Amino acid sequence: MKKYVLIIVTISIIKLLLINVYAYEDQTIESPSKGIVTMIDLGAKKCIPCKMMAPIIEELKKEYQGKASIIFIDVWENREEASKYKINAIPTQIFFDKDGKEVNRHIGFMDKKSIINVLEKLGVN
């Protein structure tokens, strides 16, 4: 029984490590876009909670294209961005209004519904 549980746990860990490794596209570092609501997800491609958010971020990028700017920044690859946005833990999501003013900040995994709720409060349909 212990061996069976160990195998399942090992497989689960491997799946988490491998899942969506490619989900975040390499991109130039973007700043909040003036004139459009922006969400920046600061994390790392190798961080487990960040990997769990990867498919959510990719879905939101597609669903909100032209309506809101959804940006991922890997702070392990771009350490200066962590200082710039004054983050202490990853993942951190920062929401900016249309004027580029920070209006909401969340630390830790954030599910899709919660992200959508914040975007809707900022007037994004």
Choose among 67, 75, 63, 68: nearest CA to 95. 68
Angle at 120 between CA 115 and CA 125, to 5 degrees: 115
Number of domains in the chain: 1
CATH of the domain at 50: 3.40.30.10
Of the listed 50, 75, 87, 90, which one is catalytic?
Answer: 50
pLDDT tens digits for range 69-85: 999 999 999 999 999 99
Averaged pLDDT, 85-110: 96
Domain span including residue 42: 2-121
The secondary structure of 2-60 as a DSSP string is: HHHHHHHHHHHHHHHHHTTTT-SPP-----PPTTSEEEEEEE-TT-HHHHHHHHHHHHH
pLDDT tens digits for range 4-37: 555 554 555 544 444 433 344 444 566 777 899 9
Q: Give catalytic status of residue 50 as yes or no.
A: yes
pTM greater than 0.85 (yes/no): no
Q: Give catalytic status of residue 110 as yes or no.
A: no
Of the listed 47, 52, 116, 124, which one is catalytic?
Answer: 47
